[in-house]
């Protein structure tokens, strides 16, 4: 059975200078972006370039190296930043994260938070080796879709970016297939164990390639 309700949620690229990276995105490709959340567990700041909801390209910059050193995710970001930056991770949005957790035998990481009005925001995920995607679901998913649509309109795209048309993953094809399960995601596997090495984005002006 195909993984139900699955789509590419976001692709993450580590950048040393988010101002310059954002300028390059808009000048070279017409893709706008804006400042987003601070990841307390990784000492990193998120900047998002929204595609058609719910997908987006995320730029991550390390703001506090001492905090980043305290977590596996933070250390991964530091290593990638010190190596010149670039693509580091990608995630799959699923409709039943507990089912994924049970299938893989991996506990759910919970990063949901309760707002003052009692509503939940944030996300939960199931992760494995860094070269494989992680699975994610969001609290308040309907409200999140509305917020992402508002961001899409606000950032001033000049090229109408839509979806990730293809991701190229450096890893065992069989391991990737076993990890994800049957799916309809636009993925291409190449040899190696580097994980995500290329992301292609469909736009009104043609395909944008991010490496």
The ranges of the chain with pLDDT < 50 are: 1
Indicate if the alpha-carbon torsion angle 45, 55, 169, 26 is positive or negative: negative
- Helix/strand/coil percent split, the chain, to 5: 25, 35, 35
| Fold type of domain 7-159 | 2,3-Dihydroxybiphenyl 1,2-Dioxygenase; domain 1 (3.10.180)
pLDDT at position 148: 94
- Pseudo-torsion of CA 159, 15, 133, 189, nearest 10°? 70
pLDDT at position 125: 96
Structural domain boundaries of the chain? 7-159
pLDDT at position 1: 46
Q: What is the pLDDT of residues 129-188, one digit of tens each?
A: 989 999 999 988 888 899 999 999 999 999 999 999 999 999 999 999 999 999 999 999
C-alpha to C-alpha distance for 177 and 51, rounded to whole angstroms: 26
Give the residue among 24, 21, 1, 3 at the shortest CA–CA distance from 12.
Answer: 21
């Amino acid at each position: 059975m195909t993984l139900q309700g699955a789509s590419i949620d976001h692709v993450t690229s580590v950048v040393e200078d988010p101002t310059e990276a954002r300028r390059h995105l808009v000048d070279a490709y017409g893709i706008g972006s804006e400042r987003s959340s601070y990841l307390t567990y990784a000492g990193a700041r998120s900047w998002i370039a929204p595609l058609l909801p719910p997908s987006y390209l995320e730029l991550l910059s390390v703001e506090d190296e001492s905090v980043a050193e305290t977590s596996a995710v933070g250390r991964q970001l530091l290593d990638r930043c010190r190596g010149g930056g670039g693509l580091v991770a990608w995630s799959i949005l699923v409709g039943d994260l507990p089912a994924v957790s049970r299938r893989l035998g991996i506990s759910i990481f919970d990063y949901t938070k309760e707002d003052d009005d009692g509503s939940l925001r944030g996300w939960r995920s199931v992760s494995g080796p860094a070269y494989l995607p992680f699975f994610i679901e969001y609290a308040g998913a309907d409200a999140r879709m509305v917020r992402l649509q508002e961001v899409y309109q606000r950032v001033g795209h000049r090229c109408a970016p839509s979806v990730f048309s293809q991701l190229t993953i450096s890893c065992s094809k069989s391991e990737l297939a076993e990890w994800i399960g049957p799916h309809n995601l636009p993925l291409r596997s190449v040899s190696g164990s580097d994980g995500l090495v290329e992301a292609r984005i469909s736009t009104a002006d043609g395909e944008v390639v991010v490496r």
